[in-house]
Structure 1
């Protein structure tokens, strides 16, 4: 079956608008002194620059690259097309075109050639490949070490009970009360500084007494 052609309102509107803009550009170029085929070439040049700048703009935006140059040439082509349409609306006497408009029309080919060359020969931005979403982690199974059997426990040998030797009690040493009072102050000072009670060796070193007397003093301080 042959496909049925159905009119598209958007396409029809685009064709009509393009034809009218094409005609306005031709009339303006002809009024500015461009006769013959040159007047027909101006609309083609303006429209091609507009399309090329738009396509370049979409390519740069899709790649995430700066698009200032494409925007500039798109604006230039749009201004030329829009200006020609407005100029032919009766605001400008096409029979007496001003000199500045003739200069603009005559200089348009060089401007359009420069814009088209820059748009075509600008290097395309390099697309950086996206990294993988997740790094694949390969888990390597590690074989479990075989359990080693512990050797059988040997029966414990109970040590022979040793008969404790009687500890001889230290001979009683007479300690003067004044020395005991002084030792108590030393012990209190040591406890206040260190937070722990004073031991016998430290007490003996602080008082300068023999070991037997230091033991006797420590027993009274306890």
Structure 2
């Protein structure tokens, strides 16, 4: 069997395992909600809400890096899913569920709405890039200033056979180093772009993802190569 065929079988096995685990967790959440008094379509909405909050928190962690808020809501959704799996395994009498379980199931929609809103609309904290220092232009000197008889300063014309004076340019001012935190965040964005598209990220896409000026995006891209 070729390596490509073995790789395909391994991916298929992982997908099948994920589908089975998701279906079992979905059914356990439905049974727990139905036992807590949520009948009809409401019992089916609970597992959808828990899974969506779990996916939203995980996507925030993958796209923008670890954060306390994303980890908090990821653990809340994971606890709700894991708790339903344990509760339906015979540890609780679903025919007569405790009042605390009914309270938790009844309050879950408000908790899920708050978590989803914060994950979707809270801005991510990025370090502000330091402004690049302005460079002062230096004009080239083509003539020498010499005092005349009256003491005023006049420009002496260059000799006709003399070669033209070389143009004096200002020494290049080294740009300030890019903050390490911004470079680390750019590496995560570039890795996520490569994982999704299979190609390295270009400076324009990096600039739009980070929200930085073009010259700063070019400096970050140079450090990523």
TM-score normalised by structure 1 residue count: 0.53
Q: What residue in structure 1 maps to residue 118 of structure 2?
A: 118
Alpha carbon RMSD of aligned pairs, Å? 3.5
Q: Distance in 2 between matches of 1:121 and 1:94?
A: 37
Residue 80 of structure 1 deviates from its aligned partner by 0.3
Flag the structure with larger Rg. 1
Shift of 1:125: 4.0
Instruction: State the match for 1:19 in structure 2.
Output: 23
Question: When the two structures are aligned, how many residues end up with a matched partner?
Answer: 139
Distance 2:38 2:58 in 1: 27
Whole-angstrom distance in 1 between the partners of 2:55 and 2:88: 22
Distance, in Å, in 2 between the alignment partners of 1:125 and 1:14 is: 33
Distance across 2 between alignment mates of 1:40 and 1:17: 17
Q: Which residue number corresponds to residue 32 of structure 2?
A: 28
Deviation of 1:123 (Å):
1.6
Map 1:1-222 → 2, pairs under 5 A? 8-61=12-65, 67-126=67-126
Secondary structure class of the residue paired with 2:94: coil
> What is the alpha-carbon distance in structure 2 between the residues aligned to residue 86 and residue 67 of structure 1?
28
In 2, Cα distance between equivalents of 1:24 and 1:99: 19
Q: Is the 8 A contact 1:60 1:125 kept in 2?
A: no
SS of equivalent to 1:8:
helix
More off after superposition, 52-61 vs 108-117 = 52-61
Please list every run of 5 or more consecutive structure 2 residues that lacks an aligned counterpart in the other structure.
Answer: 1-7, 132-225
Following the alignment from structure 2 to structure 1, what is the Cα–Cα distance between the partners of residues 98 and 24?
Answer: 23
Tell me the distance in 2 between the aligned counterparts of 1:121 and 1:103.
Answer: 28
**1:121 deviation in Å?**
0.5
Alpha-carbon distance between aligned partners in 1 of 2:130 and 2:27, rounded to the nearest angstrom = 48
Q: Distance in 1 between matches of 2:69 and 2:123?
A: 12
TM-score by length of 2: 0.52
SS in 2 for 1:84: helix
Partner of 2:180: none
Unpaired segments ≥5 residues, structure 1: 132-222
SS of residue in 1 equivalent to 2:38: coil
2:127, 2:56 → 1: CA distance?
21
